[in-house]
Structure 1
Amino acid sequence: MAFNNVETPENFEQKCLCVLVLDVSGSMSGDPIDQLNNGINTFHEEIKTDSTASNRLEVCLIEFSSDVNVLVEPSLVENFTMPRLITKGTTKLVDGVREAIQKVSERKGWYKSTGQRYYRPWIILMTDGAPDSDQDVDSLANEIRTGTANKSFFFFAVGVQGANMDVLTKISSPEMPPSFLKGLKFSEFFKWLSASMTTVTGSKDGDTINMPSPASWMKGFKI
């Protein structure tokens, strides 16, 4: 909600920001992008059915290819329709994640300025390749390690078939290593993510949070 072009809170529930950073480079064409589109719509619809999560979870959607585009600014799920992702270009992965970190910083500042409590934000990266050669992976790794160590945000990378898992391991914190998607189980991943975000937004400060099992979508997961 905006008043005189200044955004005002729609409610004063404790907020949780989830930034989805999604690879739409040319290698995602065909079944991968179709399944990814199905998955993000599943996520959107499932969050909408939970009244607590829909009042607390804000979603931001960033796509990266040869460019970086913010398709959905941080918003409660009832305030936007998931866009349809279209593949093109190369893989500006580092730029995409940096945009997410900036969005997290800006949104936390807004929460503070408007008197809203918030959970630690989440940045979720999904990619099927390696970053372009001009991307500074080492610098991004330092930013993510610093941000996660300072509890500024959680960072979770998911590799799709073809992903360079060495790069994803380099930019991830040891406490939350990257995972590999089983086949094209995007819908299963986003069902898990919606259940996880519902668990987080339903918790109180100090609660121990037990996340759902990722067995349905994570390759190699063992109990």
Structure 2
Amino acid sequence: MNRRLLAYFLLDTSGSMRGEPIAALNNGFNGLVSMLRSDPQAMDSLHLSVITYDREVTNLIPLVDLASFHPVEITCPESGPTHTGQALEMVYNLVKKEVIKGSADRKGDWKPLLFIFTDGKPSDLQKYKEMTPLIKSLDFGVIVGCAAGPKAEVSFLQELTDNVVKLDTTDSSTLTNFFQWVSSSIEMGSKTQGTGESMTLPPPPSELNIIV
């Protein structure tokens, strides 16, 4: 069996994403899948899992290899909270169950990747703070947090990862650029992990502000 590269996407679908933002998110994410399909290495090893979170947390697309991935429409409720902590708990449980560890007679999966997209901040702050150290303990190849739009707060994402990007808007062209950058990051991840080096992210386009 090939060594797999597992990429988990946490996508904020709270009420504030209604309208153009959720349409832009669908467009950008489907574009990401199309771009990745043109990379033979990604087609060979990449598996995707999509978790959406608002009041409910849903594993919208359970882990599937890139070739078998079928886009589904991401939707959001009219209003409601952003249960980011619960979403992290789901990711934690999935990663513990799905990532195959190496053993004496076989190589395990590559280090998994985690991408978190939000246009706000966690509503379940206590759960979020509980889950942050647990997520960090999982040895992800990289965790990328994206705070999109004027109400998105970067401080909570910074508790989770040093790789935080800020988007000023949630329109279609900005999200398309973000997901193009994510595509490059995943392709780079699949190449650098094979060399044993730690993963570095490609330089972002001008619309993405890296928070240092």
Report the AA paired with residue 92 of structure 2. Answer: I
Deviation per CA, 1:150-191: give whole Å up to 9, x if none.
x25532211111112222222x13xx2422124231111111
TM-score, length of structure 1 as denominator length: 0.82
TM-score, length of structure 2 as denominator length: 0.85
1:125 aligns with 2:113: no
Report the AA paired with residue 77 of structure 1. Answer: L
RMSD: 2.5
Return the alpha-carbon distance in structure 1 between the equivalents of residues 37 and 197 of structure 2.
Answer: 24
The residue number in structure 2 matching 1:8 is: none
The residue number in structure 2 matching 1:72 is: 61
**Percent identity (aligned):** 22
Alpha-carbon deviation of 1:19?
0.2
Return the alpha-carbon distance in structure 2 between the equivalents of residues 58 and 68 of structure 1.
Answer: 20
Report the AA paired with residue 198 of structure 1. Answer: E
Deviation per CA, 1:35-85: give whole Å up to 9, x if none.
111111011111111111111111000001111111111111111212111
Alpha-carbon deviation of 1:215?
2.6
3-state SS, counterpart of residue 86 of structure 1 = coil
- Residue pair 1:25, 1:65 contacting (<8 A) in 2 also: yes
Q: 1:1-223 maps to which residues of 2 (within 5 A)?
A: 12-88=1-77, 89-109=80-100, 115=106, 117-133=108-124, 135-147=126-138, 151-152=139-140, 154-161=142-149, 162-170=151-159, 172-173=160-161, 176-184=162-170, 185-203=174-192, 204-207=194-197, 209-219=199-209
- Uncovered stretches (5+) of structure 2, i.e. residues with no partner: none
Return the alpha-carbon distance in structure 1 between the equivalents of residues 131 and 13 of structure 2.
Answer: 20
3-state SS, counterpart of residue 66 of structure 1 = coil
Report the AA paired with residue 183 of structure 1. Answer: T
Report the AA paired with residue 46 of structure 2. Answer: L
